[in-house]
Structure 1
Amino acid sequence: MPQRRVVTGRSQEPRQRFAEELRLLRAERGVSLKGLAEELGWDASSFGKMESGRTLGSPEVVEALDQFYGTPGLLLALWELAMADPSQFKERYRRYMVLEAEATSLWHYSVTMPPGLLQAPGYVREALVAGGLKGAELEQQVEARIGRQKMLEGEDAPPFRVILFEAVLRNSLRDPREWRTQLEYLVEASERPNITLHVLPFGSGLHGLVNTNVMFLRLSDARTVAYAENDVWGELVEETSRVERLHRTYDAVRDLALDPVKSRTFILRMLEEVPCEQST
């Protein structure tokens, strides 16, 4: 096979290409970061982080840049590709992320934390900081996790069933305001037509997933795969017999959980216990 010819000499990795285009467009316009900030009304350091690849910025900022540079839709398209790029995730998750993006339906069981697809931004940040991330890597992983959630939005969003053990709803964040936001996010998610949310209360008894988070993905070729993990281990399971055993265990856990209406009421009652303002 002949070697691929390099046409532009620019990066083929979406995140790097996005940052590269931002730098080139600003250089062609002959404007400084400070000047760009004065024109568009955002902080110069934000544009600097985007051009260095430390952050991708928000769609509003990217749309403003598209308008400023006269590149209607180009930067936003590159931004969307960068947000969806599995290379931004840690190595052991990358294949899973590729499969997740192709899933036609999903099922999840959570032991101590809401699944990443249902974490509010404040929760995402605190969870990643607790895991030891900081600086540019932290910002990248926050954006990556929040960006994944877009797959559950829109008319063509896949159905998602999630079971939350009660510990998920008891292990609150340090900031009561952020915790209230997270609980409200779960209530809002439970009202979406494609999301079915169950709560498994304390006292439901032992079961086969006591210490294991698991996500099942139904793929377009009708296969189902699973990703099982705890705090120190994670594994993508593709062998049919193992996936089926895990799924039978999941179904047994679902039978122990509250139905969606009672689960929503359960979370609303917990919301009533959270103060609206952070105490001083």
Structure 2
Amino acid sequence: MPPVSNPTLRQRRLGAELRKLRERAGFTVTQAAAHLGVNQGRVSMIETGRSPLSADRVAAMASAYDCVDEDLVSALSAMTGRRTRGWWEEYREHLHAALIDLAELEHHATGLRVALAMHIPALLQTSDHARALFRAVVPSMRQYEIEHRLTHRIKRQGILHKESPPPYSAIIHESALRMGFGGPEVARGQLKHLLVMGELPNVTVRVIPFGAEYYPSTGQSFDYVEGAVPQLDTVQLDTHHGGCGFLDAEAQLAKYRAVLDHMESCALDTTASRDFIQKLGRDL
């Protein structure tokens, strides 16, 4: 198969995980190539996500690297082939590549945990709220750019309504709930929408009020996207330039899991959070 010129995040992640297996086995690229019966360039292309792989090839590489984690090998095998032709591909020429990668990442997620201090989670935003956010971006977006971002965001929300949706847990600080993007009517509509979404069996919404004893975060919004196995989890960080940053090192994943656990420990429970949101809506 011909090489991939612009590998997606998913393709790059597959290559990176195969590189980790090689390094844990103590193989250099040269040794791995000799062991697999390919040239060094092929190994390098595989590890950068630029060479499409079959499930059989992944299994052969895992065996060569003495990987006995069957669940991990199975999960890596499921990531093979060319990029998924999902709905997000139609936006590839219009949006930052990282936003396309994020949509694909969410599509394959087995669970999502998010934490936000200043914004409502993207997957829980109304169209009016999201449009108000995009209009506030600096530098200003053109109208067609706003519409591309808006429709992309609304389509991303579809994962919460599909058959067998992933569990979704949102920890939202009170400051995000009080931000009046779009004016009082839009803000009230957004709070009502949070209450509706919180009724879905797969969605959990919890609030950290100003009165909480501590807030174990820097205030940066992030998503924790769970993969088929824990080794394939990913942290997505929002960036000021409009894209996304992705982290997947074991130490980074452990850190953000711990942050989420601490945030959940100081958040209101779901019932109290619902009452809190309702009161805010009445006070607007």
Normalised to the residue count of structure 1, the TM-score between the two structures is 0.65
SS at match of 2:152: helix
Q: 2:96 aligns with which of 66, 90, 95?
A: 90
The amino acid across from 1:241 in the alignment is A
**Residue 220 of structure 1: how far off its partner (Å):** 2.2
Q: Is the 8 A contact 2:235 2:247 kept in 1?
A: yes
Q: 2:172 aligns with which of 164, 188, 201?
A: 164
The amino acid across from 1:265 in the alignment is D
Q: 1:148 to 1:84 in 2, by over 3 A?
A: farther
| 2:203 is aligned with 1:190 | no
Q: Is the 8 A contact 1:199 1:258 kept in 2?
A: yes
Distance 1:260 1:96 in 2: 27
Q: Is the 8 A contact 1:111 1:210 kept in 2?
A: no
Note the 1:1-280 alignment, pairs <5 A.
Answer: 81-82=86-87, 85=90, 87=92, 88-131=94-137, 132-222=140-230, 223-229=232-238, 231=240, 234-274=244-284
> CA offsets, 1:102-141, max 9 Å, x none?
1010000011111110000000100011112222111111
Q: Is the 8 A contact 2:116 2:219 kept in 1?
A: no
Q: Is the 8 A contact 1:110 1:168 kept in 2?
A: yes
Q: CA RMSD in A?
A: 2.2
Q: Is the 8 A contact 2:170 2:204 kept in 1?
A: yes
The amino acid across from 1:143 in the alignment is T
Q: Is the 8 A contact 1:109 1:163 kept in 2?
A: yes
Distance 2:95 2:168 in 1: 22
Normalised to the residue count of structure 2, the TM-score between the two structures is 0.64
Q: Is the 8 A contact 2:123 2:154 kept in 1?
A: yes
Q: Is the 8 A contact 2:117 2:176 kept in 1?
A: yes
**Residue 273 of structure 1: how far off its partner (Å):** 1.3
Answer with 211-220 or 80-89: which moved more: 80-89
Distance 1:154 1:253 in 2: 28
Distance 1:207 1:231 in 2: 22
**Residue 197 of structure 1: how far off its partner (Å):** 0.7
SS at match of 1:226: strand
**Residue 230 of structure 1: how far off its partner (Å):** 5.3
The amino acid across from 1:259 in the alignment is D
SS at match of 1:272: helix
Distance 1:225 1:81 in 2: 20
Q: 1:196 to 1:2 in 2, by over 3 A?
A: closer
Distance 2:87 2:256 in 1: 33
How many aligned positions are there? Answer: 198
**Identity rate, percent:** 24
Distance 2:152 2:102 in 1: 14
**Residue 94 of structure 1: how far off its partner (Å):** 3.0
